[in-house]
Homo-oligomer: A and B are copies of this chain.
Amino acid sequence: MKQGDAPLYQALQNWKKKSVHSFHVPGHKNGTVFPTFAQKEFQRLLQIDATELTGLDDLHDPADAIYKAQQLASDYYKVQATYFLVNGSTVGNLAMILGSCNEGDTVLVQRNAHKSIFHGLELANVKPVFLSPFIDKEAQVAVGLTEETVKEALKAYPNTKAIILSNPNYYGMTVDLTNIINLAHAAYIPVLVDEAHGAHFGYGSPFPVSAALKGADVVVQSAHKTLPAMTMGSFLHFNSKLIRKEKIISYLKMLQSSSPSYPIMASLDLARYYLSQLSKEQVKKIIIQINQFREELNEIESIRVLPASSYYELDPLKVTIQTACELNGFQIQERLEHMGIYTELADPQNVLFVLPLAEISERKQITGKIKEALSNGRLVRRPIVPVEAITHTDYTELVFPYKKLKQFNKKVVSLHEAEGFIAAEAVVPYPPGIPFLMAGEKIKQEHIKRLSAIIKEGIRLQGGEYIQQQKIYVYDYKGE
């Protein structure tokens, strides 16, 4: 087996040739039973939407094609073991936490984490201490933890059992974790990293270095985000001397479908293949194109391209444009969509482009369209007025353990009367999926003010059935 192979994809090809008559699940019978009008999209793929048949191995007990495909991935990423995930980085984060922590453990958690990290903490019934990241003033975006923050927290919580980090952030801002990992390992504390946005970091320069190569114990990557895997295809990399991989595996078996999708698994094999086969020459061309793209965007008066910072490394595949006119980020995004240009996310200030790991086809035409969308008489350049940053105290703990919280009843109250209550739901602007309030956290006046503003600005919120009506679920308990 070499990196130029794709053993799982190949196994499906071999099986497809042999399997003429399907008397097994799935019910679409290799794509032959399906609504006729939809066959044009589905039929070819359904021919490999197989199940655990002879020659196709078993994700939950891999010994053949899936074993080989995972082996090639772990070789490529230089880790002890790689596991294919079919339920996204969500299940990777859950299994990473449940598999590394025990009930009641104190764990340090970077606050601007994806909600799946918070769900993992709750399912594991650990005692989280949330650490505040530093904020990039230009983008008004939370980045990562400083070494200082972690050092102080380890002093304050000497009983810490794990550190859970999220890096890079959604905008590709990547903190060097070397020192934090060394600090933790000196105290025999494992470091778990949600690296969802960094599946291509395995390539090395010119991309940032993966946390796995910096010594992190477990690293979860969304192969579907920056590599050409199907949505829900992710990797969990295990590279630890401090934790047992068997416990993580047991949670992956529990939390992932017992009928995992073969197209998604094959696309993970192909994503690793794609990355491993990218020549230095091709990557050089990609980077040249990205720089041209950035320059062309910077020529547009009503926006500016967010520059790099000395505080972090910027992933070249992420390009953020910031408004410099009366349009907010959402309005800019909407104008681009009218031109057929769909971006990853908007916030009040910014619009994020996730670039392909390939040359941008029709780059000139695209930047021309963007120029057209954002250049008309009314759009005058104006100075950036920094919005008020969300501030947190350095450490936040839950008011009560998750288990005690579960015993309270929940009720809905108006935001304006929510002060002092404990939030009973996470409120998550999505994307980027970072909880603004978490279940278990006390609601302060500052939260209410900011949340009202978020709702008025029309930011998409997950959770919070009544949140658009300025109402929130709280536990029926009001502290002193």
Contacts and interface: CB of A to CB of B under 8 A. Distances in A.
Interface in A84-104: 86-91, 94, 103
One complex includes copies of this chain to the number of 2
Contact of A29 (B18, B86, B356): B356
A200 B122 CA distance: 36
A129 B34 CA distance: 41
Interface string A338-373: 001111110000000111111001100010010000
Contact of A259 (B88, B259, B267): B88
A444 interface: no
A341 B35 contact: no
Contacts of A379: none
A462 interface: yes
A46 B266 CA distance: 13
Interface string A252-269: 011111111111101100
Contact of A230 (B26, B89, B258, B342): B26
A327 B175 CA distance: 62
Contact of A49 (B87, B231, B357): B231
Given A24-B343, A41-B47, A361 B35 contact: no
Interface string A32-50: 1111001011101111111
Contacts of A337: 18, 54
Given A254-B119, A273-B35, A23 B343 contact: yes
Contacts of A259: 88, 90, 222, 224, 231-232
Given A224-B25, A274-B35, A88 B257 contact: yes
A270 B35 contact: yes
Interface residues of A, number: 107
Contact of A342 (B46, B53, B462): B53
A255 B258 contact: no
B58 A462 contact: yes
A433 B460 CA distance: 41
A463 interface: yes
A256 B90 contact: yes
Interface in A422-480: 430-431, 433, 460-463
A399 B340 CA distance: 61
A263 to B, nearest CB: 7
Contact of A344 (B25, B54, B257): B25
Contacts of A2: none
8 contacts: A23-B343, A23-B344, A24-B354, A33-B358, A49-B231, A61-B463, A90-B255, A261-B261
